[in-house]
Structure 1
């Protein structure tokens, strides 16, 4: 059973998918690739993978590797993602989102939860403008809700963007790569949905991650959600009146 923060998301509705048309352009004929080796190296060194949860060793990150992370983000910021094909773009945006999230935590560490960041009246840093790409200032919410969700319209997006929290789908041990997107998305969905934080069944009671409540517009009706979950569950579930919860504690390990 997860130990939950008392903080509720009841009054904080998740952002709607709201397309930012500027980023809709792509170059289908492009064969150019983007190098994510620095980000992969940091994950290799600091991510601990366990059966139910991946955790990040924020406290152990060296000054040299913090500089490497900043350099990686500078490299991504210097690119125009619209010049790449759709798969390369998808990997770009997901890796950018996850790397930015880790940097936000490192810049403010130690912190017990990402929800503690973002200012006195903010619930987390998601609306802060963190990076400039093609002359546009972008926030984490811009990347997830104005680019990834409306352009790709794939519910599996929720399993690969990581919010540095124990309740969130895991930060993946392999960075997103354009040539393996579908396999990675399915793997991430399967891992999360079969974890206690994704779907927990106790007798006739089913407890789901609050992700499925917050993003009902993406997952559809209860019947549609059930179909989605049962694509990946090792034991099919029947949804009647599920409850929802989420653990906002930092996904750290000392």
Structure 2
């Protein structure tokens, strides 16, 4: 009896470690040979209809087209990227659109809510302790999560810092949800435009002669922005007001309230 009591906690810990390991690896397995690049037309039309130019999302009315959104997500789910055949731009556009569309689906399924953080699972379990770890959809028949798309695929496979301007976490402090789908043929232009919109709007970043307060995104993912240059140099590529070498950078508190106002 004593043996069982001592052994049981280690069984639980071992199981949880295995679970974390599985989750950590799954993102690299999402894909399929011979798949076709899906059309993002439906998603483009929905974004144009329900997302304002300032990034505010009309979730209340978006619910009217939840079936159409489901049609698009089924198309995405059934056509995961072929890493050997799809271009880099086709894969990036796919994953960015998938992340944003599944996030919107998550919000619509629980609307009205005050914050995406209200959807954190309870009780908390290591490895799946936030809404971003929930495997609430499939890619190519495999369970998937938003965390896998962002950290195991977009950040790990592409080393493209501008994805942080494009993926949207349904929160007020997130970079704005673009009112159009990302498309391989104009992806670079779209990402550059997102950088300009995000960095030069005082809602997200304050850059002037007296003060420099950047979004917490630049703190959380600093390593993504500083692989080839300093953070100041990266931001100055987009900022109309240049950060001087003598200026110190602080970071704004992140507002996780829903981006519907």
TM-score range, shorter chain: 0.7 to 0.9
2:92 is aligned, of 59, 75, 90, to 90
Q: Which runs of 5+ in 2 are unaligned?
A: 1-23
Match of residue 153, structure 1, among 126, 140, 159: 159
**SS of structure 2 residue aligned to 1:207:** strand
**How far did 1:237 drift?**
1.3
Spell out, residue by residue over 1:51-93, the C-alpha distance to the aligned partner (whole angstroms, 9 max, x if none). xx31011111244x10111111011111131152221111111
Contact 2:162 2:195 in 1 (8 A): yes
Determine which structure has more spread, i.e. the larger CA radius of gyration. Answer: 2
Please tell me whether residue 243 in structure 1 is matched to residue 247 in structure 2.
no
Question: Per chain length, whose mean CA-contact separation is higher, i.e. which structure has more relative contact order (CA < 8 Å, sep 6+)?
Answer: 1
Shift of 1:204: 2.3
Cross-structure match for 1:58: 59
Match of 1:9 in 2: none
Match of 1:22 among 20, 29, 33: 29
Higher fraction of helix: 2
Hey, what's the Cα distance between the residues in 1 that align with 2:225 and 2:81? 27
For residue 233 of structure 1, give the secondary structure of its aligned residue in structure 2.
coil
Q: CA deviation at 1:202?
A: 5.5
The answer (yes or no) to whether the contact 2:78–2:141 under 8 Å persists in 1 is: no
- Secondary structure (helix, strand or coil) at the match of 2:56 reads strand
CA contact (8 A) 1:197 1:209 kept: no
The 8 Å contact of residues 136 and 143 in structure 2, kept in 1 or not, is answered as yes
The answer to whether the Cα contact below 8 Å between 1:208 and 1:243 also exists between their aligned partners in 2 is yes
Larger displacement relative to structure 2 (169-178 or 128-137): 128-137
Q: Which residue of the partner structure matches residue 112 of structure 2?
A: 110
For residue 80 of structure 1, what is the aligned residue in structure 2? 80
Please give the TM-score of this superposition, normalised by the length of structure 2: 0.80
Is the strand fraction higher in 1 or 2? 1
Using the alignment, how far apart are the partners of 1:134 and 1:47 within structure 2? 28
CA distance in 1, matches of 2:33, 2:89: 10
Counterparts of residues 1-254 of structure 1 (less than 5 Å): 20-23=27-30, 33-49=37-53, 53-63=54-64, 65-82=65-82, 83-121=85-123, 124-201=130-207, 203-220=209-226, 224-238=230-244, 239-253=247-261
How many residue pairs were aligned? 228
Greater alpha carbon shift after TM alignment, 201-210 vs 174-183: 201-210
Structure 1: 5+ residue stretches without partners: 1-17
Classify 1:203/1:34 alpha carbon distance in 2 versus 1 (closer, same or farther; 3 Å): same
Cα RMSD, aligned residues only: 2.3
